[in-house]
Structure 1
Amino acid sequence: MTAPRRPARRPRARTPKGRSRVGERFEAVVGPVAHGGHCVVRLPEPESRVVFVRHALPGERVLLEITEGTEGDRFWRGDAVEVLEASPDRVAAPCPYAGPGRCGGCDFQHVTLPRQRGLKTEVVREQLSRLAGIAWDGEVEAVPGDDHGLRWRTRQRYVPLRDGGRGMRKHRSNDVVPIEDCLIEATEPSGHTALGRHFEVADDGFWQVHPGAPDVLVTTVLEMLRPQPGESALDLYAGVGLFAAFLVEAVGRSGRVVAIEGDDVASALSATNCPGAEVQAGDVAGVLDSAFDEPFDLVVLDPPREGARRPVVEHVVRRTPRAVAYVACDPAALARDLAIFAEHGYALSALRAFDLFPMTHHVECVALLTRG
C-alpha cells in the first residue's frame, strides 16, 4: 500500500452477552498460531471456548488471563500471564515495554527471529489454504535493513503525554503506556529511495517503513512481471509511483504506464516521480469504471490492508493482462482476492513473503497471477 495509512482501529464497544469473564484465569496448552498475532487455545468443558491468546507459543503450557469476553461470546481473548512449560523458541523480550498489559505495538518480542518467520509462514499457508484453496510451500524471508529484528521502523507514531513525554497504546485499548525508547524505531531517518532512485513523498505520506522494503518489493515485482519494451501497464493504488517509475523505464518510450491513486497529494507526487506515466487521481474502482478500459499487458496491485476486493479484481481481469503482480500487507485479504481471480481464470504462479515487520505479526506478500 502506498497511500497514507489510516490509524489502527480500536475495538468497537459491544453489548455484553452475559456475565463478564474478564480477569478469570485458566491453565491450558497452547494450540497453533492464528492470524493476528495470537495463538489458539481451546478450553475444555465446562467453558468449551476458543481463546485467542497473546504472548504465548504453540505447545506451551501457560496460565492465561481473559482480557475480553462474556458468557455469551463465541470466543474470548486473553494473555499468557505465566509460562508453566516454555517453548525452546521462547526468549526474554528485548523491549521492557513488551508483555501482558504493556505496549501493544509488538506481538512476537518473546520469540526467536527464525521462529517468528516460521509462525508467519504458517499463517500465510493457512490463510491461502482456507480462503483460496491454494497450497504454498514457501517460507517468509528475512530482508536486510534491520538490526536482529530491531531498529527498522523509519516512521513511528506516538501518543503525546501531558508531561511532555510520549507513549504507545496497549493492545486493543486507548490506554497509553509511557515509552522512553521504542526498540523497533530506527535511530536515523530513512531517505525515500528505491534501487538508487529518489522519490518525493509528503511529510505525512506513506512510504515503506522497513528500509529494505522498497528495493526488495520493486525487484520482486519486476522479476515476476518481466515487463518488455512496448508493453502497457496499470499501476493501481500507485501511491507516489514506487512501481510505476520502474515500469516506465522497463517498457520504454514505445510502452505505456497508467498510475491510479486515490490520495490526491500522493497522486500529484507520482506525476513528479514518474515522468512519462499517465497519472490519474481518484478511487481505483471508480476510475476503472469509466476510463482505461482497453487491454493492458501488465497490472500491479498494491491495495490497502482490506485488499482490492471484487469490483477492482473484476475490472482488472476485464483488461486481460498477461500477468498481475499483487503486493499485499494482509494474507487474508490476499487469499480472498486470489479466490476471485481464480473464478476468472487467473491462477497463482508464484508467491514470495517478506518479514518487513519483525517483532510484529505483519507480513508482506508479493503474488504473481497469470491466465490459465
Structure 2
Amino acid sequence: MVTVGAPAHGGHCVARLDDGRVVFVRHALPGETVRVRITEQRSKYWRADAVEVLEPSADRVPSVWPEAGPGGVGGGELAHVALPAQRRWKATVLADTLRRIGGEQVAEDVAALTGGAGAEVEALPGDDEAGGLGTRTRVDLTVDGAGRAGMYRFRSHEVLALREMPLAHPALLELGLLGEDAPWRRVWRPGARVEAVAPSTGEPMVLVDGEAAALRRRSGPPRRAVRERVESSVGELTYRVSAAGFWQVHRQAPRTLVEAVLDAAGSVAGARVLELYSGAGLLTLPLARAGGAVVSLEGAEGAVRDARRNLHEHPEVDLHAGRVDAAAVRTLGGGAGVVVLDPPRVGAGAEVMSAVADLAPETIVHVACDPAALARDLRAAREKGYVVRSLHAYDLFPHTHHFEVVAALGRAG
C-alpha cells in the first residue's frame, strides 16, 4: 500500500516506500492511496501498477478503455483520469521537465510568459464534447497467434487481442478489425502488422505488413496513398501522403499545428525559411503559401517524395532529402530569417540547435512531441542566446501521457 505523489514524464506517478525507494506507479492519480503490483525492479527505482484503489482522487473516473488498464496494452495510461485533470497532469509534467531538464533559466523564461502560472495544455476542438474519444485517424495493430488483432501488453512482446479501441476514429471502428468474428482474419496471418488509416477525404485504408489489403479483390493497382485536406488561414491545403508514412494522428492536429506554427513564425512573406524534419510537407505548404522562401530538409526519402507532390504548385520551394545535422544546417540555412523544426521524439539535439542559433535567425519555431527532448533543445538554444517568446501546448493524444508543444524563440534582450 502506497500513497502516490506528483505525476512524472511517461504516464506514472511517483511514490516512495518506507525505505525511501522510488516507485513509478501507473494507473494511479496524485494523492491516491493504492495497492500496487511490482512490475519491474531496478537498482535505483521500481515500476508498479495500481491494482486496487483504497482512497481515490476526485479526478478518477471509470476507465474509457479498460483493456489499457493494469496488465493491459499500452497507449491508454490516463484512461481513468477526467479530461480536465489529464491536461493539468500534462501541464505539471511540462513545467517540471522544463525546470529539471531545461534548467532554471528556461523555466523562468516560460514562467514569465504566463505570469508564473505555467503553460496550460489546450484541448482540441470537439474533444470535450466527445470525451476525448474517436480522435485517432491512424492505428497500428499486431495479429496474435490465433489470428486476432491486438496490441502489445505494456513493456512486453506479448500481443493481447482487443475487443474495442475507443480512441480510434469511428471510420476505423466500422472496418471490423477487432474480435473473434473479424472478417479480416482471412486476410492476415499471425504476427502480421496491421495499419488502418482514416484520411480526412476518401475511404479508409488497411495495410497488412505494409501492403494495401481489402476483403474483396479490386480492379486496378492497389492504393498506396491517401489524401488529406486541411482548412487553414492561408486557404485550403491538400496533401497526398503515403498510407504507411507519417501523418499527425488526431483528426484536428494538422490544422491546429499549421495555425500554431504560422502564428509563432509571424510574417514570413519574403523571408528565407529553413524547415528541418519537414516530413511530407504539412508545414512546408502553408509556409510557402504565406510567402516564405522555404528550404526544407527531411531524412525520410519517401516523405520527401510525398512533399514534392504536395508542393507541385510551389516550384520555388527547395526540398532536400538527407540527414538533419549541424553540417546540413550550415550548408542550407545561410540567410534564414526563420527556422522551423519538427524533430522526432528524441529532439533535435544540442549540435543541431547550436547550428540553428549560429544562423542568427530572427525566430526559431520548435514543434515538440516529447517534453524532455524539448527541454534539452530549449536549454541548448538558451546557451546560445535564444529565449522562449511564446509557448503553447496541445492535447493531441487524449487518454495518454503524450502532448505536443509549439515554442517560438528569439534573441535575448
Give your verdict on TM over 0.5.
yes
1-structure distance, mates of 2:368, 2:250? 15
Instruction: Indicate the SS of the match to 1:151.
Output: coil
Q: Please give the residue correspondences for 1:257-296 in structure 2 after superposition, counting only pairs within 5 Å.
A: 257-274=294-311, 275=314, 276-285=316-325, 288=328, 291-296=331-336
Q: Is the 8 A contact 1:50 1:74 kept in 2?
A: yes
Q: Aligned residue for 1:143?
A: 124
Q: Aligned residue for 2:283?
A: 243
1-structure distance, mates of 2:267, 2:138? 32
Q: Does 1:298 align with 2:334?
A: no
Match for residue 229 of structure 1 among 269, 275, 287: 269
Q: Aligned residue for 1:131?
A: 101
2-structure distance, mates of 1:371, 1:90? 43
Q: Structure 1, residues 145-177: CA drift from partner, whole Å, max 9, x if none? A: 542111111111111123331111111111221
Q: Aligned residue for 1:100?
A: 70
Q: Does 1:369 align with 2:409?
A: yes
Of the two structures, which has the highest relative contact order with CA contacts closer than 8 Å and spacing of 6 or more? 1
Q: Aligned residue for 2:389?
A: 349
Q: Please give the residue correspondences for 1:85-124 in structure 2 after superposition, counting only pairs within 5 Å.
A: 85-124=55-94
Q: Aligned residue for 1:18?
A: none
* Count of aligned pairs: 339
Q: Does 1:211 align with 2:251?
A: yes
Q: Aligned residue for 2:229?
A: 193
Q: Does 1:49 align with 2:21?
A: yes
Q: Aligned residue for 2:139?
A: 156
Q: Which amino acid aligns with 1:64?
A: V
Q: Structure 1, residues 218-237: CA drift from partner, whole Å, max 9, x if none? A: 10111111123211101100
Q: Identity of paired residues, percent?
A: 44
Relative to structure 2, which stretch is displaced further, 255-264 or 336-345?
255-264
2-structure distance, mates of 1:163, 1:172? 21
1-structure distance, mates of 2:85, 2:398? 11
Instruction: Indicate the SS of the match to 2:52.
Output: strand
Unaligned runs of 5+ in 1: 1-26
Unaligned runs of 5+ in 2: 112-117, 172-197, 201-227
Q: Is the 8 A contact 2:258 2:282 kept in 1?
A: yes
Q: Aligned residue for 2:3?
A: 29
Q: Which amino acid aligns with 1:351?
A: L
Q: Which amino acid aligns with 2:229?
A: T
Relative to structure 2, which stretch is displaced further, 203-212 or 101-110?
101-110
Instruction: Indicate the SS of the match to 1:365.
Output: strand
Q: TM-score, normalised by structure 2?
A: 0.80
Instruction: Indicate the SS of the match to 2:355.
Output: helix
Q: Which amino acid aligns with 1:278?
A: D
Q: Aligned residue for 2:41?
A: 69
Q: Which amino acid aligns with 1:140?
A: V
Post-superposition shift, 1:122?
0.2
Q: Please give the residue correspondences for 1:8-23 in structure 2 after superposition, counting only pairs within 5 Å.
A: none
Q: Aligned residue for 1:22?
A: none
Q: Aligned residue for 1:339?
A: 379
1-structure distance, mates of 2:329, 2:81? 46
2-structure distance, mates of 1:167, 1:194? 31
Instruction: Indicate the SS of the match to 1:63.
Output: strand
Q: Does 1:39 align with 2:39?
A: no
Q: Which amino acid aligns with 1:243?
A: L
Match for residue 51 of structure 2 among 41, 61, 81: 81
Post-superposition shift, 1:180?
2.2
Q: Aligned residue for 2:32?
A: 60
Q: TM-score, normalised by structure 1?
A: 0.88
Q: Does 1:359 align with 2:368?
A: no
Instruction: Indicate the SS of the match to 1:105.
Output: coil
Match for residue 150 of structure 2 among 157, 167, 173: 167
Q: Aligned residue for 1:8?
A: none
1-structure distance, mates of 2:148, 2:135? 22
Post-superposition shift, 1:287?
5.8
2-structure distance, mates of 1:305, 1:280? 21
2-structure distance, mates of 1:99, 1:269? 38
Q: Is the 8 A contact 1:227 1:247 kept in 2?
A: no
Post-superposition shift, 1:273?
1.2
Instruction: Indicate the SS of the match to 1:199.
Output: strand
Q: Is the 8 A contact 2:237 2:286 kept in 1?
A: no
Q: Structure 1, residues 8-52: CA drift from partner, whole Å, max 9, x if none? A: xxxxxxxxxxxxxxxxxxx1111110000000001012xx21000
Q: Structure 1, residues 95-120: CA drift from partner, whole Å, max 9, x if none? A: 23131111222110111000000100
Q: Which amino acid aligns with 1:128?
A: L
1-structure distance, mates of 2:163, 2:38? 29
2-structure distance, mates of 1:238, 1:94? 34
Q: Is the 8 A contact 2:350 2:376 kept in 1?
A: no
Q: Is the 8 A contact 1:145 1:210 kept in 2?
A: no
Q: Is the 8 A contact 1:105 1:168 kept in 2?
A: no
